[in-house]
Amino acid sequence: MQERFATLDIFRGMTICFMIIVNSPGSGAPQWAPLDHAAWFGFTPTDLVFPSFLFAVGNALSFSKKKFESDSSFLMKIFKRSAIIFLLGYLMYWFPFMHRDDGNWVFNEISNTRIMGVLQRIALCYLFGALIVHYCSKKSALIISIALLLGYWVFLLLFGEQGQEYTMLGNAGTRLDIFILGDAHLYHDKGGPIAFDPEGLLSTLTGIVNVIGGYLAGAYIQEKGRNYESVVKLLLVGALLIFLSLFWGQFFPIAKKLWTSSFVLLTVGLDLVIIGVLIYFIEIKKINFGNNFFLVFGRNSLAIYLLSELLLVVFQLIWVKPGLSFYNWINNVFYQALFPGAFGTLVFALSFMMVCWLVGYIMDKKKIYVKI
């Protein structure tokens, strides 16, 4: 069983590794450009990280689909897992539940907490993706995916502000989020007045397709085996989706923050290429260099991701002196002193990732695996 999951765990581990690096840039200088998301339209390597995790979630579904004895056990499992992941994401954004105001600790009112987020999107995409692939044939799942991608495009065009359909405040997704969730429950960049949630309700619909894409890839690999033919077909389909995304992107721009349909095709296509390459090197050529490093992340992906997010908050919460957090202090006196500029922010991100890896390594050695 371990061998069967090796490539998936490595793929998931690579995703978590780079997710931590992306989410923990140092301070004191502009962020290293390749670790920043596209400002709006466009694509950077960083934009691939989150959809790749959804792809890995779908891939794992292809291995677990036959494990359930009945529909009731299946439904209980996925609803419970989805609820726990969603709640963990909500609490993670609420943490540490208090903030400083003129030197005093003030409770973070629940009325101002962010409802959606990364784990919340993972939970919802997993829930609906699991329901679709469990109750529908692979052909039907593909048709549903196409309908979601086209439907999202049409919805943005019909219900967005005229001429502003793909803008931050004029798109239909933001208007829907404000209407259902309210301004105070959305993401506010750097605490500013503009409410826009990149993990909003409407764009979660297209995120489901990333899960289905991962499922279909996993099901194909199980049916055809891990061989040269499978690798070639994964690469060809991946290349086709990349081409289609670039073509569609001329009319429906590639944008991670809107999770546009062209963005989904691009990311699924790239993930198919990556998983194909990994199968070639790991399963066929038996190259093991670096595998154990990523397996540490892959075997405890949720726990290590939560650790990374909460530890960053703690670093920013602890003051070395009034007004100076440990996070800013260590960047100023060490990383920016030794590696000035954007490179210093990269070195900090790599160092922080290694701290999280070390915790995962200890957990792996002690056979501690957090499963939901």
- The answer to whether residue 316 scores a pLDDT higher than 70 is yes
- The whole-angstrom separation of Cα 282 and Cα 270 is 18
- What pLDDT is stored for residue 112 in this prediction? 82
Amino acid in the structure at residue 251: F
All residues at 6 or more sequence positions from 13 whose CB lies less than 8 Å from its CB, including other chains: 293, 294, 295, 296, 297, 298, 299, 301
**Helix and strand tally (H, E) in the chain?**
14, 4
Cβ neighbours of 213 (radius 10 Å): 28
Tell me the pLDDT tens digit for each residue of 271-314.
999 999 999 988 888 888 878 899 999 888 889 999 999 999 89
Q: With contact defined as beta carbons under 8 Å apart, do 347 and 43 qualify?
A: no
- The whole-angstrom separation of Cα 150 and Cα 5 is 33
Q: With contact defined as beta carbons under 8 Å apart, do 126 and 85 qualify?
A: yes
- The answer to whether residue 4 scores a pLDDT higher than 70 is no
Residue 3 or residue 362, greater confidence: 362
Q: What is the mean pLDDT of the chain?
A: 89
The residue among 177, 193, 174 whose CA lies nearest residue 185 is 177
Burial class (CB in 10 A: 0-12, 13-18, 19+), 228: exposed
- The answer to whether residue 202 scores a pLDDT higher than 80 is yes
Q: What percent of the chain has pLDDT over 90?
A: 55
Cβ neighbours of 240 (radius 10 Å): 13
pLDDT-derived band of residue 60, with 50, 70 and 90 as boundaries? confident
Lowest average pLDDT, out of 1-15, 86-100, 210-224, 352-366, goes to 1-15
287 CA to centre of own chain? 27
All residues at 6 or more sequence positions from 156 whose CB lies less than 8 Å from its CB, including other chains: 165, 166, 171, 172, 173, 258
Q: With contact defined as beta carbons under 8 Å apart, do 117 and 334 qualify?
A: no
Mean pLDDT over 238-255 rounds to 96
Mean pLDDT over 318-333 rounds to 88
Tokens standing for residue 197 = 């949630």
Tell me the pLDDT tens digit for each residue of 301-311.
889 999 999 99
- The whole-angstrom separation of Cα 85 and Cα 77 is 12
- The answer to whether residue 3 scores a pLDDT higher than 50 is no
pTM exceeds cut of 0.85: yes
Mean pLDDT over 20-33 rounds to 86
